[in-house]
Copies of this chain bind each other. A is one copy, B any other.
């Protein structure tokens, strides 16, 4: 135990001295405009850095045909020809637990650049923050992974378990980057993802999928309106009933780790388009919906429940019972998941958070999906989200990350790596 404290203290001291390096690395990564399909340059940069750190680096362009065979494949992509994946393996000396450090390099588009007070790709460092698109979500977190590991090496420690340093594309568009890591065969005993979770220990996330509802009506001229059936009226009916469904599911599928969220499994009718002439009864309506799922259910269960509900409410309407809405599940799908709060990896992260910050860790869930779900669903590996920055700052103009929070996260990650993988001092 004395030994542990000394090693962690040494590593944390090195991290304290790496503050500029941490900010600088974040800034450098922000300067890559790595939006959808533009991930090559940053992945090359990362692969080079991992190689210099001593990793065996796997840099590859996932084969879409191979990917399609996996049950988790859901994407509108036709190839990954400009979206490579990276996995740097640091082999341990043996007899330790292995850990995946995962982070995504893709970022959402900057939106209207006029809303930014500086270039979205500036990577500027001012006010103890690093600024720019992706700083919070999640190049800041990715930098923590790097500096944590580099500090361990600099302290002259050797890990017993393997570290798999994964940087993935496509997290913002469906998680095919992480799925590609799984398809590639990478496995470990646990996963840490420094997503922007305010340094909370997030061990439950909701699932979600997109679904398109095509609601049939019957067109008619207004002089003969009674002969028609308004697809907009039927959509309003469905909309109101989906609100009831959402309320009922909020109760029935409540998860203790999501009790702080008002509507965790939101059913969001995001788009609607119906009719083409003000003077005709609209004959079709199309709604696109983001459907949230509880960690208490699987994607398949949740989808079946949605389909059953549409069936039930259609039965209750004189028109819809004979003219069923068409249900199509679209591209993306995030898997709900949760980890036992008493799992050793959860306890380690929480304890190290308390030791580093002096405050009890908040162990909770989050009402959004991330790459952790795929590890839980397809490999049954516990994947914890723990990282600096907050979601309300990501995806916005003038995105930034606080360097102090990154420093805390880096120390917690480094300490957790030591505890989980085990280590020895270099001779």
Residues on the B chain within 8 Å of A274, using CB = 271-273
Query: Which stretch (A18-26, A60-68, A230-238, A415-423) binds chain B?
Result: A230-238
Distance A55 CA – B235 CA, assembled complex (angstroms) = 55
Residue in B208, B225, B278 whose beta carbon sits within 8 Å of that of A288 in the complex: B278
**A232-B272, A271-B274 as given contacts; A391 in contact with B279, CB under 8 Å:** no
Distance A395 CA – B225 CA, assembled complex (angstroms) = 13
Give the shortest distance, in Å, between A369 (CB) and chain B (any CB). 10
In the complex, the chain B residue whose C-beta lies closest to that of A231 is B272
Query: Which stretch (A9-17, A260-268, A305-313) binds chain B?
Result: A260-268
In the complex, the chain B residue whose C-beta lies closest to that of A243 is B233
Residues on the B chain within 8 Å of A276, using CB = 270-271
Residues on the B chain within 8 Å of A226, using CB = 262-263
Interface presence of A414 (CB below 8 A): no
10 contacts between A and B (CB under 8 A): A222-B290, A222-B292, A224-B392, A227-B392, A230-B269, A232-B270, A235-B272, A268-B278, A271-B275, A272-B273
**A224-B391, A236-B240, A392-B224 as given contacts; A268 in contact with B281, CB under 8 Å:** yes
Give the shortest distance, in Å, between A294 (CB) and chain B (any CB). 15
Residues on the B chain within 8 Å of A272, using CB = 232, 235, 272-275, 282, 285
Among A211, A243, A276, A277, find the residue whose CB has the most chain B CB atoms closer than 10 A: A277
Interface presence of A381 (CB below 8 A): no
Find out whether the CB atom of A282 lies under 8 angstroms from the CB atom of B262.
no
- For chain A, residues 235 to 256, give those with C-beta under 8 angstroms from any C-beta of chain B: 235-236, 239-240, 243
Distance A121 CA – B208 CA, assembled complex (angstroms) = 52
Find out whether the CB atom of B275 lies under 8 angstroms from the CB atom of A210.
no
- For chain A, residues 280 to 337, give those with C-beta under 8 angstroms from any C-beta of chain B: 280-282, 285, 288-290, 292, 330
Interface presence of A201 (CB below 8 A): no
Find out whether the CB atom of B266 lies under 8 angstroms from the CB atom of A277.
no
Find out whether the CB atom of B263 lies under 8 angstroms from the CB atom of A225.
yes
Interface presence of A426 (CB below 8 A): no
